[in-house]
Amino acid sequence: MVSRQELEALSEEELKAMLDKDRMPKHVAIIMDGNRRWAKQRGLPILQGHRAGSRATRQVVEACVELGIPILTLYAFSTENWRRPPLEVQALLHLIEVTLKRERDELNANGVRVRHIGSTEGLPESLVRTLKETEEMTRDNSTLLLNIAINYGGRNELVRAVHSIAQKIKSGLLKPEDIDESIISAHLDTNGLPDPDLLIRTGNEWRISNFLLWQIAYTELYVTPTLWPDFNKREFLLALIDFQRRERRFGGISHVTAR
């Protein structure tokens, strides 16, 4: 097996050649962490870190399209992020909106379908409108489904799912004894999608941070010290190679034999 040190010496094309196309993850989720630290290390305003992070996002989306990964879910703004300074929150949400407007024509041309997951409550009206317009523009695309988690929290998602199920029970559309894992999954923001195969977290933080709590029960985790603005296609390839070396047992026998 090629060591991590040896992998670091390989070119992007050599890394790509190492991947088994038949064992690519169907769904990759990413906690994009480190924008603020990246900016502080360079003596730059925090917003510059978020802007640099948006360039990393573009590279990963391009890599997923290129490699044929069908679903990518990005944690862009959590329910906890509202606790940050108001000016930073306002600037970050504005940056998300501007970036969507700038990128959506190219995303559409490349067959990327954009979908928002999370709550729209409290979000600026212009951002909600931009999200809806982008979803409508790209709704028929099938090359890549890009889920953008904005104002998203795993606990909040579960609470909203429970409320929805409770309303159906109250109206007689559902019986309490009908509730099982499939019913709960059907009321989540990711309804109809396979659970993530791989969760990448940048910035060397070993936390889930309230992200996809239900969906990542058997997801493979990959944590890298690389801050999100420095994450690129090469880093993404290294994460995929690591994933393909894992034995996925799902609580039982091995589903993949590590090389």
- pLDDT tens column, 196-246: 999 999 999 999 999 999 999 999 999 999 999 999 999 999 999 999 998
Catalytic residue among 22, 33, 180, 195: 33
Predicted pLDDT at 231:
97
Please give the order of strands across the beta sheet that includes 220-223.
112-117, 144-152, 71-78, 27-31, 198-201, 220-223
* Helices of type H across the chain: 4-8, 12-18, 35-41, 46-67, 86-109, 125-138, 154-170, 181-186, 233-244
Q: Does 126 score more than 70 pLDDT?
A: yes
Residue 114 has pLDDT above 60, yes or no: yes
Report residue 250's pLDDT band, with 50, 70 and 90 as the boundaries.
low
pLDDT at residue 256, as a whole number: 52
Residue 258: per-residue pLDDT? 42
For 37-68, write each residue's pLDDT tens digit.
999 999 999 999 999 999 999 999 999 999 99
Q: What is the pLDDT of residues 139-163, one digit of tens each?
A: 999 999 999 999 999 999 999 999 9
Mean pLDDT of the chain: 94
Segments making up each domain of the chain, as ranges: 24-153+195-208+217-244
The pLDDT of residue 113: 98
> Which of 29, 60, 53 is CA-nearest to residue 149?
29
**pLDDT bracket for residue 257 (50, 70, 90):** very low
81 tagged catalytic: yes
CB 104 within 8 A of CB 78: no
What pLDDT was estimated at residue 10?
Answer: 85
Q: Is 178 a catalytic site residue?
A: no
pLDDT at 156: 97
CATH topology assigned to domain 24-153+195-208+217-244: Undecaprenyl pyrophosphate synthetase (3.40.1180)
Annotated catalytic residue within 20, 22, 35, 81: 81
pLDDT of residue 247: 77
pLDDT exceeds cutoff 60 at 253: no
141 and 112 Cβ atoms separated by less than 8 Å: yes
Q: How far apart are CA 210 and CA 155, in angstroms?
A: 7
